[in-house]
Structure 1
Amino acid sequence: MKKLIFKSLARLNKKVLPSYSKKGLQIEKASKLQLAIIAYRAWVLKNALK
């Protein structure tokens, strides 16, 4: 059940949230909001793959 929720969230994130890797964003120059989005996406992805 938990894995299904995270997989759904990961799909939703892919459609809604921006992909900074495709834009070529450098982590050193990222704002706090951009870092928070990156961390959230990584957390959801990690839990979806467990």
Structure 2
Amino acid sequence: MKSSFFKILAAINKTLLPSYTKKRLDLSKASKFQLLIFGWRLYVTKRALHQ
């Protein structure tokens, strides 16, 4: 149940939020908001892949 929720959330994140790894964003120069988005996407992806 929890895994499917995070898979759906990961799909929503993929469509709505920007991908900073594809844009080659330097994390040392990223703003706090960009780091927040990056961390959120990382958290959701990790939870979606965890079984």
Settle same-fold status: TM greater than 0.5.
yes
TM-score w.r.t. the length of structure 2 is 0.94
Is 2:13 the counterpart of 1:13?
A: yes
How many pairs does the alignment contain?
50
- Between Structure 1 and Structure 2, the one with more helix by share is 1
TM-score normalised to structure 1 length:
0.96
Structure 1 unmatched ranges of 5 or more? none
Q: Is the counterpart of residue 35 in structure 1 residue 35 in structure 2?
A: yes
Cα deviation code 1:8-48 (max 9, x no counterpart): 00000000000111111100100000000000000000100
Mapped to 1, the partners of 2:46 and 2:22 lie a distance apart of 20
Give me the whole-angstrom Cα distance separating, in 2, the residues matched to 1:22 and 1:47.
Answer: 21
Q: Which letter does structure 1 place at the counterpart of 2:40?
A: Y
